[in-house]
Structure 1
Amino acid sequence: MTLKLDNLQAALEAALGPRLKALVRDRGEITVTVDAADYHEIAKLLRDDATLRFEQLIDLCGLDYSEYQNQPWEGRRYGIVSHLLSITHNWRVRLKVYAPDDEMPAVASVTELWTSANWFEREAFDLFGILFEGHLDLRRILTDYGFIGHPMRKDFPVTGHVEMRYDPEKKRVIYQPVSIEPREIVPRVVREDNYGGLH
Structure 2
Amino acid sequence: MSFSVEMGLGLAPESEQGVSSRAASRTESATALQPGAQTLLTMPSMSTGLSHLPDAAGENLLVVSPWAPSRVESALRDHELPVGNCGLIPVNGSPVTYDGPLWTTDAVPPSDLTGLSMRYCEAMRHVEPGEGWVLIDNAQVLLMYADDERVGRLLGRLTQQAREREVTGVLAVDRGAVAMETLARLRNLVDAVVER
The question of a shared fold, defined as TM-score above 0.5 by the shorter chain, is answered with: no
Please give the range of the TM-score, normalised by the shorter of the 2 chains: under 0.3
Which protein is richer in helix relative to its size?
2
Q: TM-score, normalising length from structure 1?
A: 0.27
Higher relative contact order (CA 8 A, sep 6+): 2
Q: Which has the larger radius of gyration?
A: 1
